[in-house]
Amino acid sequence: VHFANNILKIIKNTKKVKFMAVDGEHEAEILESLPAQAGGLIKLKMQDVKDVGEKNGMTFLYSGTTPHHMQFVVNLENFPVCIEARKVRDKDGDLKGINVNYVEIKEGIYNVRTYERGVEDETWACGTGATSVAIASHHLGILKENICHIKMPGGNLTIEFKKAKNGTYQNIWLTGPAVCVFEGEIK
């Protein structure tokens, strides 16, 4: 949304947009628009989550198109994310590789570091990873509210959601900064 608004300049005269992504239709709201390099604040509606499961001692769910594993750790700052994530990312062959999220809760803030499949490394921020941590924590009874504050190396995110009577997590909104972290040119 930030890229479409500030770089491509295809969003005109509106703060609310709808768009198609690989996992279906999304809607977003531009809460604060800043110059392209400075970023902005975006509120993005995520896909509903129908199933949270545990298999082979792992808590996982599908948030968008990617399965996510969540694990609580102590001393997240010094935790060897890449080494440990590579041990579990293919643990369950049915999932065809997963994103791995390591979590430590400090003073009500969920500190998260994510190893992403495809990137095959730790990333600064992962919206589906943050969403997965919030939903899985709520499902496990660790998170009692329908809002979760997440701190990732790339910035702070807020996840809000509702749990339907049938157990589906709906109306999931991710709010956070959209910041350019890399530029390149292909010749």
Mean pLDDT score of the chain: 84
pLDDT of residue 40: 77
Q: Which domain holds residue 86?
A: 2-178
**Mean pLDDT calculated for residue range 112-137:** 92
Asked whether residue 90 carries a pLDDT value surpassing 90, the answer given is no
Domains contained in the chain, number = 1
187 located within any domain: no
pLDDT of residue 88: 83
pLDDT of residue 51: 80
112 located within any domain: yes
**Mean pLDDT calculated for residue range 159-176:** 95
pLDDT of residue 37: 55
**Mean pLDDT calculated for residue range 71-87:** 95
**pLDDT tens per residue, range 18-75:** 877 777 787 888 887 665 555 678 899 998 888 887 766 666 676 666 788 899 999 9
**Mean pLDDT calculated for residue range 177-186:** 78
pLDDT of residue 184: 80
Indicate the pTM of the whole model: 0.85
pLDDT of residue 27: 87
Report the CATH number that the domain containing residue 19 is assigned in CATH.
3.10.310.10
E strand spans, the chain: 16-21, 24-33, 40-45, 52-55, 58-63, 66-72, 99-106, 109-116, 121-123, 147-152, 155-163, 169-178
pLDDT of residue 10: 61
184 located within any domain: no
Residue with tokens 């790339």: 154
Which residue type does 120 have? E
27 located within any domain: yes
162 located within any domain: yes
User: What is the pLDDT confidence band of residue 160, given thresholds at 50, 70 and 90?
Assistant: very high
77 located within any domain: yes
185 located within any domain: no
Asked whether residue 9 carries a pLDDT value surpassing 70, the answer given is no
186 located within any domain: no
pLDDT of residue 161: 98
pLDDT of residue 131: 93
Please give the radius of gyration of the chain, using alpha carbons only, rounded to the nearest integer: 17
Instruction: Please name which of 118, 50, 120, 28 lies closest in space to residue 82, comparing C-alpha atoms.
Output: 120
